[in-house]
Amino acid sequence: MHLLITNDDGYRAPGLRALAESVRALGLDATVVAPSGPMSGAGQSRRSGVPVDWAWAEPVAGIPTIHLGSTPAACVIFALTSGVVPPVDLCLSGVNAGENLGGTLNVSGTYGAVLEAGARGVSGIALSREVGGPWAEPDSWEWAWVPDAAARVLTTLLAARSGWFTANINLSGTDRGTNPAYTRVSRVLYYTDTYDVVRGSIVSAIGYRAEELAPDDDIQAFAEQKRTSISLDRRI
């Protein structure tokens, strides 16, 4: 089995390295194709007919690595159609610096990569982790626990490949993947987005209403119960 590893934080991101380390620990074959820089919030977007630069980079955790000057979805298209990467059996995306939950999930470039792979018949897993410090400084967060937590949930899902097609995982630093909850993606907005006139940009902040959550919501498990959340799409 050959895996594609991508993300939306860029090929130098600590979460990508953590995911690559977990894949190496599991003894799986993989290629990294990730954006050249941050592409958070890109969803499943890409632009047709626009030249895109790509280049080989230093291997990440010993895994051959390509960086592409475009979005996560474009990285998936490159990997699946260019002929540069061996045939892909499974797409892994992440580990995102910050959770991806609820009604704003489709905004996520991490999840968008998995959607793109799924649209092309390749199953995929999006992985994110809880916010671990200042939003703009993920390199300062504690990442040491993430490779083991990712490997733990990946092992569980890979052992049950016939039971799901795509998955969205949010790793909790509290249970570190040892007590995951199988959930549905909540219809409730987890992030509240507003346009900040002073900054001249959209600003996101956690702003869900707990009383609106269903018992099996991903937000309920992750934010209220402090458990790793696994939301499966079981289309076969």
Domain that holds residue 72: 2-186+215-233
Strands 229-233 and 166-171 turn out to be antiparallel
Domain presence at residue 199: no
Which ranges constitute the DSSP H helices of 92-227? 109-119, 146-158, 218-219
- Counting Cα atoms < 13 Å in the Cβ hemisphere of 177 gives 19
Q: Which residues of the chain have pLDDT under 50?
A: none
Long-range contact list for 184-187, CB < 8 A, 24+ apart? Answer: 184/214, 184/216, 184/217, 184/218, 184/231, 185/101, 185/102, 185/103, 185/105, 185/217, 185/218, 185/231, 186/101, 186/102, 186/103, 186/213, 186/214, 186/217, 186/218, 186/219, 186/220, 187/102, 187/103
Domain presence at residue 192: no
Domain presence at residue 89: yes
Cα of first residue to Cα of last residue in the chain, in angstroms, is 18
Domain presence at residue 112: yes
Q: Alpha-carbon distance 92 to 32, whole Å?
A: 9
Q: CATH number for the domain including 92? A: 3.40.1210.10
Domain presence at residue 156: yes
Domain presence at residue 32: yes
Domain presence at residue 86: yes
Contact 62, 185 (CB under 8 A): no
pLDDT at 161: 84
Q: Left if phi > 0, otherwise alpha if psi is -120 to 50, otherwise beta: which for 200?
A: left
Q: Report how many domains make up the chain.
A: 1
